[in-house]
Structure 1
């Protein structure tokens, strides 16, 4: 069956049962509208806020916390013959408040991000001019039906997919669909059947933008049947996968739950095997094991992760990065390949005159402004704006980008194109055509009629008889033409688009392109953003490969890539023709060395992303057009443009840039890397401190057969002290040294690289915590009470006396000084060594950058104040937390006040020990490195310097 683009005009009319002269009747249009539906793209159903909230409660870590909360009620009930008091619900309430707060925080952030995305969408609804019942009328584009006759003119969006049936110099910017940065000329004539969208010259695609001329088209597809509709539907049908952070957190949750269960079982079996055998003793052992298991779980981790991500998303929003999903922040920091669109992201998305050809030489456009060739410059200025339909009014720019570039250049020389056009009225014109590749206008200039012609330099030279050299008009020779063509070829090889200008005085009222005088030419390009060059250099130093994907031709793409410092050889460029010939295996093998993909289709982009993912890369894809949407959805992190981006692209993306700048992506990468490091530092603190708690409680429990701490003590330490510090780490300043490191490739868990730090904190802290407990026990009357009961002689050692504690009844009432001493050490020591965890990435440099974190300092003070309140406020200290109080026999007095100072002194010992260990590790890593390693580093640095110098020379 023939395709629509190959149909003749009459065949199109018959096929769609339309009337090209009068259009559809209102009745027929309404009938088709009811049958086919509105001309609107399908919108993915928005997940209600309450569903997001409920989903937050079933995440693995949250489920574990809720189970821990339930256990916190069951455990004491089992000890007290299943009698439950209000006090037993304290742990449950605290844990559930943490779970609820975290769920609310995640829900609020997700909804806020969604609102930010919605705010970027266009508020105006598109309209269309149609022919119905023989009359032109404007209707909502959503009411268009197949067979409608639509009138198009410059500056309007194409409201549906059209087969053009009439056109006059009609051009469309199809960059959102095909990726081509230059508008394409459309025709109403039949063409050969093709599958390439860029080659369908008689089809106007929905949501593309008309830049010049006018046309009439018949609607052939609407809504989901159009090309943009098909892409939109594919995006909506895609299932959203978990981000790397979500996968790591899920895996981490399973590991923690398994470890907690194993520890609980081991502790219970150990106590049961070595402890008392009386009836009911096993319940006490079960309580200890459950308490230890709960102590392993970092209850505040979910809240820490959410708050850290939320804080980063707010900071990113202020820097033009809107994150639609919290966990996408970390994903952005993990990418090691960025596939980026060219136009608007790496370039300015604005054609700009760079060079000027005059006097048979090439000069810089800025230098030309200062030239004094009065005649030549005056004629060139008129030629820039008179045979030109581009208009700029403030922020509004209408017309072909090439013509707008000429207008902009004229404005740099203080020329107002609108005043010029009023002053020098157009009498006649010869529109641009693809056959002639020229455009001419006849203008009244003072008392003269002058023809101004612009167009392709080779075609223009064919109709020129003279040339302006040094402000004199002389016959043009073959030598002149050869020099001009040579200059043009040199400029074209650098991907500059060359336009030439000529003029002729005439007495006729018609513009004839013959016997013209060559004025000169200009070369223009969509220049690279200067900041993009810096950003790509930063990406390289961060170990991130940047690939440019564009609809432009290979020569243009390579020239831009050279200016960006992205690619220098033809071997680093692959065009769509080569892609079509390659198998997926061949492309996967070659793709690592490719930096530019030119003239690609949407399906090519998806294939490129897939091949990179098959190589094990974490891929970020940037784009703004509908053609980018499938690859945005396919990549681990899709980045859409907020200014030029289509709604479909924004819908498919994970992150939106509100300034369309590649530099902003690198800011997001830096933020993402910092987020991941902050989360890992928080985990180091939480797990290290939890390990210290478990080890110290386990050691003491094995000795005295009861838990030295109450559940409320552990919950306070875990949920207040640890949370304050961990959250503050997440709110700390950015560590820019992370951008000097390569991203970690492959599947890595959250605990990878943290084992040494966690063990260091856990073991060192546990040793001093146990020491603090037994030193505190020296101040209690328990030992002396035991001596009195058992009538022990004074010759027995202190250690032998401690062993007698096992035989005491209601022992937990007699270890209050040891518990208090232990508690003081456990809440004060992390306030100190938490500041060591926030050091900058010490592996990056021999100089350690001490990041002053005000949030961490403030959090330490808050945790200290709360801890002092718990220890010294009556009723709270002794009744709730079972610590030493005031005014009781077990309370503070002149004989035991020294315990306070000894506990504080011991709290400083983990900090000092960990600091000494870090100094030794730092010294061994940087200063004791073997000479062979030093030489290897030096060689690598020299190779990198030589490589940069080589590329800079090639670039010049």
Structure 2
């Protein structure tokens, strides 16, 4: 856009081929609409639900599951060397595909629900605009505005396009959604020097900002995508969706798993082929495929989606809407939060904080408590009479500064509307930027009383007397010095000072309304911080999260707010936009770790800040509500928009929306995110540890017997039913709040980092228990039924008898398979409760939290396992387990469960205790060695940490003390 702020009005009128008095003709408008298009912001394309559903099938983990499903159909055909297929051959395929479809449905439903929540937050109104065309004033749809149109603006109206002001009368605009500056800007029609800082373009009205006072006329200089708002919207829409850290880790993990499964399958097949009968290659291939399936955690995708889905529901109840499932985990990984000030850390509501009365500074609360007096009566009238703002219920109309005065008056029982009805305004001199004063004349007790408010330095120039201790005396230079000194003290703390005076001189005329006034007092106000934001920042620091404030306000104001938030204390921690412009990328990277506040920034500055923090290896969250926040919301690893005051553009750019506009709520999201990641890691430890146990046990037994002890159906039942029940229950478990006492996990931390030892422990203990269970179970085999002529062991008979076909061998080991199956199903029901990955190192007290969802899941999994093991028809025909009684198979009367072998069931349950007892014992040893065993290095380390923490607390206390002294 051209530098219209520095051009003369006559040149602008000529360049835009318009007439400032008559406006454009309809013919000109029609031509420009054809060439430039409607004045509408670009809207991002919405991915249809069916595309989201289909895309879920091509994610790496889903592809692996589909391949596993295909293998489960192909494997029996290859092993049996026949094309004959039965329903039994499709059971595994159906189960796996069902898991894939359910996972895709969950992801699609969550995405659509989040989108509907966002749509419900959008404004429903269609903006209108008053323009001058063909010499006539008319109201049109803002979408029909074109460059060169003359737009008329009044207080309470949104600016419909980018305007160069050509006339202004006490014209003020709230630009906080664009610049982040909380105080409305006084606009004028004079040309200014060219500037890139939007907040300093005092003769430009920006699209979508809000007029708060006065009247203005402007010429449209940019519409739609060419406006500052449009450029931001276009930049947000052009950004490609980047994968979240969790998605990247899951993708990497899925590739790793697929390679591991292929390696295990090929290795086992080759080992068995070269050590056994090569004519039995089909059987070896079946064993290899079974083991490969055993490596793949088929239920992981469903576990992750269900865990995230439960978390998003829980977060929705906490006023956090998550637009994308994987964004939940990203919140937990954040180690830097960049936040807008206005409306996010502050209340976005100017509030009186201090009062200057009797030449002293007191708090607004102390002034409220003062008894009634002449000064207080006049002060209360000064708050509401020279004031045009109105409050009624939730409706608040007017300048934020004047609204603050009305709010303060209401604290003392004064209603502005009743006061104005009682003391009617008979005359006035409106506020203007040159005088910096506003004066009204009100009729009080049949007398004309003048009330003036404005900048304290300008007001003192027109005052000749002062009320001190309820006495009216002459205003001396010493009095002026004391008042200005107090005002300077307040201004240094970024408070905006407004002063009041009055006159009841009966000889006053309009020419001298603002002369010989009596100084009453002054107020100091600011947009105060949210109390909950202070607590949230403290919580963030405790969690190892750095908070960076980014604002459009001046550096002094920003630092004052930062002090109140315990965020920054010195000017060295604040960087202005001018300094940011001077810094190269390399220079910015060197200093950015020391900067806690960025002031007077433009939207493109915010993107640059976020980008620099990301280059330093940080996971960055950006919170905000204005259009000016949208590009950085989109650029950040996770963008968090405000749902109430947030603009549509900001909500569109964000990944998460806070429906209560409370910065503190984001910390609840961080806690949930950390717990989600922890739960997913616990589920992975369970799945991978148990799969490792299956691989170890099947590998060992297969290498000994050259036949798989478990069938693919057994493995899939264990993986998809038993493991899934437990893993999903882990995701539904209670939150571990101690995670907020740890620094965030960021950088190149894979899903397996810190989890290998628990996985190996589970794999070895559970694998050993399964192997032992198999060989104990084989002791229940009656080998005489199989044709043994002596009392040789089952192993000798199995290895030396050549009459056993593959089918015979599979049937022969049914007792061993059953015992191994019972142990394998039962063992994780116990050790799933022992998988602890939280900060046990930080606390000597073992805090066991019983997860009721996990208890219920264990009982359900146990029940399903017993059904499979003992229900006739299911146990033998589908899962190849031991049947009941005597059964004739291929001419042999094979014994099933009877009084002589019932002991095996109890023995199998007993061997299921090996893994949890082994895990419990090793964890106890590690816990003792870490916390209780004497270690000089640890003692020294704790002493150093305590000394550093004491120094840090002392520095903070001193900074707070200095701040209080200053105030």
Tell me which interval the TM-score lies in, with the shorter structure as reference length.
over 0.9
2:100 corresponds to 1:108: no
Q: State the secondary structure of the residue aligned to 2:39.
A: coil
2:126 corresponds to 1:125: yes
Name the counterpart of 1:19: 19
Q: State the secondary structure of the residue aligned to 1:242.
A: coil
Looking at structure 1, the residues matched to 683 and 934 of structure 2 have their Cα atoms a distance apart, in angstroms, of: 30
Q: State the secondary structure of the residue aligned to 1:402.
A: helix
Name the counterpart of 1:64: 64
* Unpaired runs of at least 5, structure 1: none
2:37 corresponds to 1:32: no
Name the counterpart of 2:964: none
Q: Find 1:952's aligned residue among 946, 951, 957.
A: 957
Q: Find 1:870's aligned residue among 868, 871, 895.
A: 868
Judge conservation of contact 1:72–1:91 (CA < 8 Å) in 2.
Answer: yes
Looking at structure 2, the residues matched to 588 and 313 of structure 1 have their Cα atoms a distance apart, in angstroms, of: 35
Provide, for residues 632-664 of structure 1, a one-character-per-residue CA deviation record: whole Å limited to 9, x for no partner: 111111111111111111111111111111111
Provide, for residues 83-123 of structure 1, a one-character-per-residue CA deviation record: whole Å limited to 9, x for no partner: 22221111111111111111111111111111111111111
Q: State the secondary structure of the residue aligned to 2:166.
A: strand
Root mean square deviation of aligned Cα: 1.6
Residue 589 of structure 1 and its aligned partner are, at CA, apart by 0.8
2:603 corresponds to 1:602: yes
Judge conservation of contact 2:742–2:839 (CA < 8 Å) in 1.
Answer: no
Looking at structure 2, the residues matched to 821 and 658 of structure 1 have their Cα atoms a distance apart, in angstroms, of: 54
Looking at structure 2, the residues matched to 509 and 115 of structure 1 have their Cα atoms a distance apart, in angstroms, of: 61
2:548 corresponds to 1:547: yes
2:917 corresponds to 1:912: yes
Residue 515 of structure 1 and its aligned partner are, at CA, apart by 0.8
Provide, for residues 772-811 of structure 1, a one-character-per-residue CA deviation record: whole Å limited to 9, x for no partner: 01101100113x456x54x45x4x5676456447873321
Q: 5 Å matches for 1:352-363?
A: 352-363=351-362
Looking at structure 2, the residues matched to 807 and 41 of structure 1 have their Cα atoms a distance apart, in angstroms, of: 81
Looking at structure 2, the residues matched to 805 and 375 of structure 1 have their Cα atoms a distance apart, in angstroms, of: 116
Looking at structure 1, the residues matched to 832 and 691 of structure 2 have their Cα atoms a distance apart, in angstroms, of: 14
Q: State the secondary structure of the residue aligned to 1:877.
A: coil
Judge conservation of contact 2:682–2:837 (CA < 8 Å) in 1.
Answer: no
Name the counterpart of 2:670: 669
2:820 corresponds to 1:819: no
Looking at structure 2, the residues matched to 413 and 806 of structure 1 have their Cα atoms a distance apart, in angstroms, of: 103
Name the counterpart of 2:403: 404
Looking at structure 1, the residues matched to 614 and 686 of structure 2 have their Cα atoms a distance apart, in angstroms, of: 33
Name the counterpart of 1:843: 841
Q: 5 Å matches for 1:486-497?
A: 486-497=485-496
Residue 53 of structure 1 and its aligned partner are, at CA, apart by 0.9
Looking at structure 2, the residues matched to 653 and 572 of structure 1 have their Cα atoms a distance apart, in angstroms, of: 28
Provide, for residues 237-290 of structure 1, a one-character-per-residue CA deviation record: whole Å limited to 9, x for no partner: 11111111111000000100011111111101111111123x3x0000000001
Looking at structure 2, the residues matched to 301 and 28 of structure 1 have their Cα atoms a distance apart, in angstroms, of: 62
Q: How many residues align?
A: 949
Residue 432 of structure 1 and its aligned partner are, at CA, apart by 1.8
Residue 926 of structure 1 and its aligned partner are, at CA, apart by 1.7
Name the counterpart of 1:902: 907
Q: Find 1:941's aligned residue among 936, 942, 946.
A: 946
Q: TM-score, normalised by structure 1?
A: 0.97
Looking at structure 2, the residues matched to 745 and 878 of structure 1 have their Cα atoms a distance apart, in angstroms, of: 50
Q: Find 2:897's aligned residue among 882, 892, 900.
A: 892
Name the counterpart of 1:711: 712
Name the counterpart of 2:330: 331
Name the counterpart of 1:808: 804
Judge conservation of contact 2:678–2:838 (CA < 8 Å) in 1.
Answer: no
Looking at structure 1, the residues matched to 698 and 417 of structure 2 have their Cα atoms a distance apart, in angstroms, of: 84
Residue 947 of structure 1 and its aligned partner are, at CA, apart by 1.5
Residue 191 of structure 1 and its aligned partner are, at CA, apart by 2.0
Looking at structure 1, the residues matched to 72 and 501 of structure 2 have their Cα atoms a distance apart, in angstroms, of: 89
Q: Find 2:826's aligned residue among 820, 825, 828.
A: 828
Name whichever of 71-80 and 841-850 sits farther off: 841-850
Judge conservation of contact 2:331–2:669 (CA < 8 Å) in 1.
Answer: yes
Name the counterpart of 2:891: none
Residue 615 of structure 1 and its aligned partner are, at CA, apart by 1.0
Looking at structure 2, the residues matched to 616 and 383 of structure 1 have their Cα atoms a distance apart, in angstroms, of: 55
Looking at structure 2, the residues matched to 805 and 425 of structure 1 have their Cα atoms a distance apart, in angstroms, of: 115
Name whichever of 528-537 and 725-734 sits farther off: 528-537
Name the counterpart of 2:465: 466
Provide, for residues 441-494 of structure 1, a one-character-per-residue CA deviation record: whole Å limited to 9, x for no partner: 111122111111111111111111111111110111122111111111111111
Q: Flag the 1:673–1:806 CA change in 2: closer, same or farther, 3 A.
A: farther
Looking at structure 2, the residues matched to 58 and 669 of structure 1 have their Cα atoms a distance apart, in angstroms, of: 29
Q: State the secondary structure of the residue aligned to 2:707.
A: coil
Judge conservation of contact 2:335–2:619 (CA < 8 Å) in 1.
Answer: yes
2:498 corresponds to 1:499: yes
Looking at structure 1, the residues matched to 214 and 665 of structure 2 have their Cα atoms a distance apart, in angstroms, of: 37
Judge conservation of contact 2:781–2:794 (CA < 8 Å) in 1.
Answer: no
Judge conservation of contact 2:344–2:625 (CA < 8 Å) in 1.
Answer: no
Q: Flag the 1:349–1:806 CA change in 2: closer, same or farther, 3 A.
A: farther
Looking at structure 2, the residues matched to 563 and 13 of structure 1 have their Cα atoms a distance apart, in angstroms, of: 48
Looking at structure 2, the residues matched to 623 and 946 of structure 1 have their Cα atoms a distance apart, in angstroms, of: 34
Name whichever of 843-852 and 854-863 sits farther off: 843-852
Judge conservation of contact 1:308–1:679 (CA < 8 Å) in 2.
Answer: yes
Name the counterpart of 1:378: 377
Misfit runs of 4+, over 6 Å? none
Judge conservation of contact 1:839–1:850 (CA < 8 Å) in 2.
Answer: no
Judge conservation of contact 1:703–1:803 (CA < 8 Å) in 2.
Answer: no
